[in-house]
Amino acid sequence: MFAKDGKSKDVVTPRICETVWHDGEFINWNDARVHVMSHVLHYGSSIFEGIRCYDTKRGPAVFRLREHMKRFLNSAKIYRMDHGWTLDQLFDASVELVRRSGLEQCYIRPILFRSLDEAHPAFGVNPFPNPLACYIGAWDWGQYLGEEAIEKGVDVCVSTWNRLTPNSMPAMAKSGANYMNSQLIKMEALVNGFAEGIALDDRGYVSEGSGENIFMVSGDSVIQICNELGITVKERSIQRAALYVADELFFSGTAAEITPIRSVDRIAVGSGERGPVTTKIQSAFFEITKGERPAPGKWLTYVNESKQVQSPGEVLTDAARSRNDPSGDDSQAILVYQTASGD
């Protein structure tokens, strides 16, 4: 259960990569700074991604890196952030950052935002006069919704805050501004003793969690890596009441991975614990991310087996350099899901 004041950490961060990629160079974590008058701080003008790197027998492996970076570039395009970075450059920079970090597993955060030209500052809503800055950082992140969440599940509530309409803010873009809405949903849940909130859309249908997709198992039905498991997948609108009578529910997302939901608004979901379909999908997912099961596509990028990238101009201290050298047949089950930001 989460503290009523909502101020306790919900994710343990044991280790941080001391190196950050910034516009083509690897710099020290402590040197990754922005001016307080940067456009992004006043108007939320940023786009970002969340990517997991897993510990496997073949070393660190980044999960679906190319797909994440494609979405990153698409988000930048939607917000008219014209930059010079290619998918391959961002891909290589991420791999090299993980290599230098010495971390067996980590969470990777690329971010592109509108900064400040200190010699020729520009203020106001118009973002175009402001320069763009691109960074990639990494840290070792624990279970997003708590250490026991993967097995025991989490208690959630339906939020009083709705998701933004797609013609108000582009939901396809993973922007920092969108996450002010997510913060309202998350804070409301935490101060009321829940791990997470589920948002409805402007029509009153289920949308998503504050930073996760939501999947519902109904009747004899369920979920996905599912083509591999022979489980049929359907996407459709879900009424709020359907959450209360679902056989199983779970969140999915880069941070949340696959996390069972055991109750909604203090109404038990199914038996009130992780169900068999969720368990089956969860097991397949973690086998894939550990490199123990073939993925449906080329989902893992093995860091130690990728080419090493040289920075055009590195800014690393000697200390930083030394640190960085281093159950039943569910073949007819149906997955009903809502797509989300999936942090």
The residues annotated as belonging to the active site are: 174
Query: How far, in Å, CA of 104 to CA of 210, rounded?
Result: 28
Return the structure tokens found at 58: 């073949």
Of 234, 197, 285, 276, the closest CA to residue 2 belongs to 197
Burial bucket for residue 12 (CB in 10 Å: 0-12, 13-18, 19+) = exposed
Residue type present at position 262: R
Pairing mode, strands 196-200 and 154-158 = parallel
**3-state DSSP assignment of residue 265:** coil
Q: Which residues are bridge partners to 263 per DSSP?
A: 155, 268
Q: Distance of CA 267 to CAs 44, 213, 242, 244, 336, Å?
A: 36, 20, 12, 6, 20
| 281: number of Cβ within 10 Å | 27
Return the structure tokens found at 271: 């038996």
For the chain, the C-alpha Rg in angstroms (whole number) is: 21
Of 85, 54, 87, the closest CA to residue 68 belongs to 87
